[in-house]
Amino acid sequence: MPTRRRGLILRVVTRNRCTDRLRGALPFSLLALALGGCASTAGPVAGQAGGTSEEVTSAPVMDPAIEATADAPIPDAADSVAPPGLNLDSLVALIRSEATRQRPRSILPFGIAWTPVQPIEGSAIVFRVMQPRGGLEPEAVAGHFADGVVRFGRARRTWLGFAAVPIGTSGSLRLELDFRFGDGSVYQQQVDIEVAPRVWEQTSLSVAPRFSSPPPEVQDRIARDRKQFRAVLDSASPEWLLDGPFALPRPFDVTAEFGQERVFNGEMQSRHTGLDLRGPVGAPVHAAGRGRIVLTGDFYFAGNGGFLDHGLGVYTGYFHLSEILVSDGEMVETGDLIGRVGATGRVTGPHLHWSLWVDGTGQDAGSLLEIEVALP
């Protein structure tokens, strides 16, 4: 079968010394060169001994998935004159070069899927953008959702991106995508997504007075902790580091839900930014996904713990540990042992405080279990 090309094509079926070297689909602009080259070495193409006649299609052959971009006039065969001294080897090289030259392709709408299908307030969403068959391949994809940035990275045959749904955000939200191509052009696409509201619990806790009303001498330490946290969470690695789904760092025995409004010693002070999982001191804590350890330490409120960078602005955190078993910069795999449950920092008892941040916004770490990030 002839290869599809713009304009007229030639399918050479002649079996002889010359045309065997030119067999394939040739752009019409090179037809005169091909025939001229053959005629100069073996006489007329048609009617040679041992050969058959050539078959020339008289109409363009277009892929129906590609927009018509062949409005430019097709060069006349009479204008295609072989340069002086062009031998058959040079002609074959020229034809092969022309046959492999990049052809214009159209921009087609991209397929967009997300999980969970019904996202809720305070939970992460993962978007998967699929390349349309026959469409132009973008060099980069960027997005915005719920007033936040969606960072996309290439993940095998798709583009993968995470978005945050901040607390207090629900209803119909628009995902806006920009596709950038090698020639500098930008294609935009939008999709509306319905986000369900969520009812948040309120709880009262009793802790040591130094944690509900920190004394002046620890204010600098608290400020330093927050500055370190923001430096990590406001940055993003350009590549997605996971090669499969997220997993629980501990058995799913929840002692405190994400988003609780917390009253410490009678004063409303914060909202719970993690998911607390039960465990005795010394119980193992595992990495929820493949990534790089970016910050470990002893923090005033969070106690011993660290952050795991999964790429594209997605981080998980593990706090109140009794032991930290990894170092900054270390790569870990899903399920690797990274620490042990403890009761350090502002706590009422031993547990793992498991956190998630997307684009610098705290999200329900439990939502990682409801999204599909396995690569096709």
24 and 118 housed in the same domain: no
Beta-strand pair 202-205/171-180: unpaired
| Last residue of one domain, picked from the residues 99, 128, 151 | 99
52 and 149 assigned to the same domain: no
User: DSSP states of 56-119 as a string?
Assistant: E-SS----TTS-----SPPPPGGG--PPTT--HHHHHHHHHHHHTSPPP----PPEEEEESSS-
170 and 207 both lie in a single domain? no
**Phi and psi (nearest 5°) for 32?**
-65, -40
Instruction: Please state whether 282 falls in left (phi above 0), alpha (psi between -120 and 50) or beta.
Output: left
pLDDT digits (tens, 9 = 90+) for 244-269: 899 999 999 999 889 887 665 556 56
Give the whole-number percent of the chain exceeding pLDDT 90.
Answer: 51
- Alpha-carbon distance of 122 to 361, in angstroms, equals 9
Q: Sorting pLDDT into bands at 50, 70 and 90, what band is 187?
A: very high
pLDDT in tens, 305-316: 999 999 999 999
Query: SS3 for 122?
Result: coil
Task: Give the confidence band of 375 by pLDDT, cuts at 50, 70, 90.
Answer: low
59-115 confidence digits (pLDDT tens) = 233 343 333 333 444 444 444 444 555 566 666 666 566 555 554 455 668 889 999
Question: How far is the C-alpha of 63 from the C-alpha of 134, rounded, in Å?
Answer: 8
Q: Which two structure tokens, joined as six digits, stand for 62?
A: 């277009």
**DSSP H or E run through 38:** helix 31-42
* Same domain flag for 248 and 355: yes
Same domain, 330 and 312: yes
Q: Are 112 and 177 in contact (CB under 8 A)?
A: yes
Considering the domain architecture, whether residues 361 and 234 belong to the same structural domain is answered as yes
For residue 90, tell me if it sits in a domain: yes
The tens digit of pLDDT for each residue in 269-291 reads: 677 889 999 999 999 999 999 99
In a domain, 3, yes or no: no
- What is the per-residue pLDDT for 130? 86
265 within a domain of the structure (yes/no): yes
Ranges assigned E (strand) in 104-260: 111-115, 124-130, 140-145, 148-155, 158-164, 171-180, 186-195, 202-205, 254-256
Cα 21 to chain centroid distance, Å, stands at: 44
Are 190 and 233 members of one domain? no
Q: What is the pLDDT of residues 10-19, one digit of tens each?
A: 333 333 444 4
For the chain, state the CA radius of gyration. 31
Label residue 352 exposed, middle or buried (CB < 10 Å: 0-12, 13-18, 19+): buried
Which pLDDT score, from 0 to 100, does residue 95 have? Answer: 58
Q: Report if residue 132 sits inside a domain.
A: yes
226 with 313, same domain: the answer is yes
User: Which of 72, 99, 126 is the last residue before a domain boundary?
Assistant: 99
Say whether both 176 and 323 belong to one domain.
no
Give me the chain's average pLDDT, please: 77
Q: In this structure, how many other beta carbons lie within 10 angstroms of the beta carbon of residue 229? A: 18
Do 69 and 191 lie in a common domain?
no
Q: Do residues 308 and 293 make contact, with C-beta atoms less than 8 angstroms apart? A: yes
* Secondary structure letter of residue 201 according to DSSP: P
User: 375 lies in a domain?
Assistant: no
Contact 321, 303 (CB under 8 A): yes
Q: Is residue 2 part of a domain?
A: no
**CATH code at 294?**
2.70.70.10
295 within 8 A of 328, measured Cβ to Cβ: yes
Which pLDDT score, from 0 to 100, does residue 190 have? 94
Could you give the number of structural domains in the chain? 3
Q: Indicate if 35 and 132 belong to the same structural domain.
A: no
Q: Which of 252, 130, 122 is nearest to 198 (CA)?
A: 122
Question: What residues contact residue 369 under an 8 Å CB cut-off, 6+ apart?
Answer: 246, 248
Range of the domain at 255: 202-370
The domain boundary, picked from 160, 195, 230, lies at: 195
Q: How many CB atoms lie within 10 A of CB 375?
A: 15
